[in-house]
Amino acid sequence: MPAAPLPIDLYDWFDTLTSGENDRRLALRAVLERDIAPVADHAWDRGQFYFDALQGFHALDPLAHYFDGTATNRALIDGLYSLELARVDPSMASYFGVHGGLCLGSILLLGSDAQKAEWLPQLRSFAKIGCFGLTEPDVGSGVARGLTTRCRRDGDSWILNGEKKWIGNATFADIVVIWARDEADDKVKGFVVRTSLPGYSARLMTGKISQRALASGWITMENLRVPESDRLSHANSFADTARVLSAARIGVAFQAVGCAMGAYEHALRYAGERQQFGRPIAGFQLVQMMLVRMLGNVTAMLGMALRAARLQDEGRATDAHTSLAKQFCAFHCRETVQLAREMMGGNGVLLEHGAARLFTDAEAIYSYEGTNEMTALVVGRAITGIGAFV
């Protein structure tokens, strides 16, 4: 292998960042390499999240950009954090994305002044942990029309009944943003539900093969009484839910970029070290083709994600921009992690060589926050003017 191998950022995409933006990215990378990389495989293997390793990450104040009134790069910073987290551990990227962009983001966008005052500082400091409950056991892609969790006004409070599936952080979160259909007007409404309330329960989902360290919960709500003051006052229909999701979708595109970058780095290192037929496998033509495809994917994904984030920050991004970024990046992430795994032969299915965990974790990135098909349909509708969802 050459003394100075080709950089993974071959087109210098990161040079389009300001020095402040890049410094934050690199500061996070250093903390993740120190604190998370050493524990991620073991946590994945046990299917347990690693609270003890999070102090350094929380100390970086990684949600500060949501509170900087002058910031013009919120989507970009969120994306860079998502990228760096997923490069080391996609489970950790989900922990952050659910707590930040989805839970804190819902309250910031749709909450009352009192809700913001109560929850935003505690979420920012990670004193309280949040999650986002939209998906249900029987309704995923079709939530806009098909949500079955019900809410009913009863005096100064609301009664919630229903189940939520797949909810990241749900087993230890202090609050969960719950989306439910109002029995009176059939509109989807949002609630900041305190998980200590009677009628709320969450159990850990088991048997997961992707992002195993993420605590994915199955929530049950039985006659759960929530005060009117905890209803998100500016969430009037599913269109408001969709605004939160669309903003967060770019973060998932960046997760895909980070996951692919991590896999490429592991594969490149392995190709230089692994000897077969008396030479490093990096010297075989077919292995080089795999490396080229991976680098091409990463280069295209990174450029698209960075541009999508800038457009979002300029207020110019539509659903087509965010969905295309998620669709394209998740698709090419999946191919990249497959190639990394394949290049390692049998060792590619062992955690200790790095590719195996990212290979399986990419499957969740591919499916959550709008599956590959659903995000394609959003873009397809924008291209043709014809909705093809049903």
Ligand X SMILES: Cc1cc2nc3c(=O)[nH]c(=O)nc-3n(C[C@H](O)[C@H](O)[C@H](O)COP(=O)(O)OP(=O)(O)OC[C@H]3O[C@@H](n4cnc5c(N)ncnc54)[C@H](O)[C@@H]3O)c2cc1C
- Establish if 371 lies at the interface with ligand X (CB under 6 A): yes
Question: Residue 67: which residues within 8 A CB-CB, separation 6 or more?
Answer: 120, 124
CA distance 344 to 158: 54
- Establish if 336 lies at the interface with ligand X (CB under 6 A): no
Among 140, 199, 283, 303, binds ligand X (CB under 6 A): 140
Q: CB-hemisphere CA count at 13 Å for 104?
A: 24
Question: What is the chain's Cα-based Rg?
Answer: 21
Contact region with ligand X (CB under 6 A), list: 161-169, 296-304, 307-315, 333-341: 161-169
Phi-psi region of 155 (alpha: psi -120 to 50; beta: other; left: phi over 0): left
Contact region with ligand X (CB under 6 A), list: 18-26, 135-143, 231-239, 267-275: 135-143
CA-nearest of 175, 312, 169 to 232 is: 175
x-or-dash pattern for ligand X, window 206-245, by CB under 6 A? ----xx--x-x-----------------------------
- Establish if 96 lies at the interface with ligand X (CB under 6 A): no
If the CB atoms of residues 62 and 380 are measured against ligand X, the closer one turns out to be 380
The structure tokens 């997961």 sit at 208
Q: How far is CA 202 from CA 49, 50, 170, 199, in A?
A: 16, 19, 6, 10
Are 128 and 186 spatial neighbours (Cβ–Cβ below 8 Å)? Answer: no
Tell me the residue number closest to ligand X, measured at CB.
Answer: 140
Question: With 0-12 CB in 10 A as exposed, 13-18 as middle and 19+ as buried, what is 88?
Answer: buried
Smallest distance, ligand X to C-beta of residue 34, A: 26
Contact region with ligand X (CB under 6 A), list: 28-36, 130-138, 278-286, 303-311: 130-138
Among 141, 148, 201, 220, binds ligand X (CB under 6 A): 141
Among 101, 168, 354, 380, binds ligand X (CB under 6 A): 168
Dihedral through CA 53, CA 55, CA 59, CA 63, nearest 10?
70
- Establish if 133 lies at the interface with ligand X (CB under 6 A): yes
CA-nearest of 11, 208, 192 to 90 is: 208
- Establish if 366 lies at the interface with ligand X (CB under 6 A): no
If the CB atoms of residues 351 and 374 are measured against ligand X, the closer one turns out to be 374
Among 50, 132, 254, 359, binds ligand X (CB under 6 A): 132
Among 291, 364, 378, 379, binds ligand X (CB under 6 A): 364
Are 86 and 259 spatial neighbours (Cβ–Cβ below 8 Å)? Answer: yes
The two beta strands, 130-133 and 175-182, are: parallel
If the CB atoms of residues 163 and 335 are measured against ligand X, the closer one turns out to be 163
Contact region with ligand X (CB under 6 A), list: 40-48, 133-141, 185-193, 300-308: 133-141
Binding site for ligand X (CB under 6 A): 94, 98, 131-135, 140-141, 166-168, 210-211, 214, 216, 364, 367-369, 371, 373-374, 377, 389-390
